[in-house]
Structure 1
């Protein structure tokens, strides 16, 4: 059991935050043991096509049969608006002794998996390269939708504190979390057992990749509880892209929905994830809309971001219902 002693009973002792790096690293649990994460099986099937572009040996070495991950790869985020690139840049400055400690905490005293052997600096560089590619191919197209679910959970928990109090909110995170006096207790499946004051506050981090509450392995890490986010089951449900009836009659349901939605830029991969169809199917519609002058495309790294053209803006505006 892990126990965090709150220094006061004020809501100021708690903060909610979202961590893209945490989500990417925790998702590796699903790669190792897909059966434990049935809600994410569709995502795993989608990723089969990109596995060859990844350093899969390194990624799988970052977790073990218990599904533990190194603490230095699960940093405490400081904001609901944390960016992956910022977390990766901070990761690059990790103390080599911390890297060694955390890898040993996961894999024990036996020889580390082959991808993790070498100097701490070399290993860290390989980890960062592997995670950067993993993020680009497997997370970046889906992150807007994932973040929306995580931020929605944070909003709900904040409202729950205001309406029902801190103890009720904490017990609602998981049946393994409870507030006893001024101590937050987290019961774990493992033999992990420590207690510490929640210096600097306790950070609560919603995740799509944990089935129960979890904490850092080391008591030296800042106090943090990761818990299963509400709405995770809806992540891969197709989303409707509503559009005015007049536009649907002119362009058809899918193209009208895409045109109405593209007031802000999006890639074909991101749009395909939202609609629950293949990128190839979405690209056919995007090409038709672009050929008609209703969309413009701008290259952004390896992706093309589509947005309505001036003509597209005028068409959507003219089709909108008028009071």
Structure 2
């Protein structure tokens, strides 16, 4: 069991970010064990042919299907807006002694593999090899799918940031994951290993991740404490065509079929591009319908960086759920 004991200062420093690097590293586990991550099978089938000849065996060696992988591969995000190049620069700056120590660490004290021993014997060269492979792997396996992944992550950050402002820590942690619970100022995370301690006034970084599904991932001090969890709506990530479900005839008759579909799809925040992909229509058509829904007070937009995410208003929620 992991137990983070919060002070008032720590509660004030709960913040959100997401990480292209963390997604990329965790996706390697999905490839290694698709049966344990069945939600992502459409991605696995699409990516496997692209990996032929890429030579990612060293990455597979250091990122096993389960258990520990070196912490230096997934440093906590330094800001709310992701920048893969900046994250890789942080990895490149890892001290050689830290690279070697983390490559040699194994759960349960089992001896490291011969390959791990060879990698740890030349940590500087190993680090450069791993970063180079991560860049190549990103280009073929993650970057083509990044826009839809980013939309889902940004939507979750928006939703939970609003919950934090309105309901405090209990509103954020209440439905984060079945393994996570908040009681009397302590965050409990059900894991196979144990930790209990404070956060030294540095707070907690919450990092939604599609590829961590169906689990959660925790990083504890002396690193920046970080909890990574599946975002709300992750089950819709690889959907194409109109959103599934029985559309209410009365709602469609009132505002039109496409607008009813849009309002239903906005149960989780999404961008115009993501909505167009999920509904299999043009982005222009989505923008036109969103304009009508916004003018009626049923949806609103929130800018995140250069992009706008749309979400239902309370009136939109009431109409969609009636």
* Equivalent residue runs for 1:85-234 within 5 Å: 85-106=85-106, 108=109, 110-112=111-113, 114=115, 117=119, 118-188=121-191, 190-210=192-212, 211-216=214-219, 219-234=221-236
Per the alignment, residue 62 of structure 2 pairs with 62
Q: CA deviation at 1:45?
A: 0.6
The match for 1:7 is 7
- For residues 206 and 75 of structure 1, the distance between their equivalents in structure 2, rounded to whole angstroms, comes to 14
Q: Distance in 2 between matches of 1:32 and 1:151?
A: 27
Q: Is the 8 A contact 2:9 2:203 kept in 1?
A: no
Contact 1:2 1:185 in 2 (8 A): yes
Instruction: Look up the SS of the partner of 2:93 in the other structure.
Output: coil
Asked whether the 8 Å contact 2:173–2:182 carries over to 1, the reply is yes
The unaligned stretches of length 5 or more in structure 2 are 243-272, 281-322
Shift of 1:139: 0.9
Tell me how far apart the structure 2 counterparts of residues 148 and 113 of structure 1 sit (CA, whole Å). Answer: 41
Q: Which runs of 5+ in 1 are unaligned?
A: 241-269, 278-323
Asked if the contact 2:10/2:199 (under 8 Å) is kept, the reply is: no
Check if 1:17 corresponds to 2:17: yes
Alpha-carbon distance, 1:10 to partner? 6.9
Superposition TM-score, scaled by structure 2 size: 0.69
Give the number of equivalent residue pairs: 245
Write the distance in 1 (CA, Å) between the matches of 2:170 and 2:278: 38
CA RMSD of aligned residues (A): 2.7
Q: CA deviation at 1:7?
A: 2.6
Question: How far apart, CA to CA, are the structure 2 residues paired with 1:187 and 1:94?
Answer: 30
**What TM-score results when the alignment is normalised by the length of structure 1?**
0.69
1:9 shift after superposition: 6.1
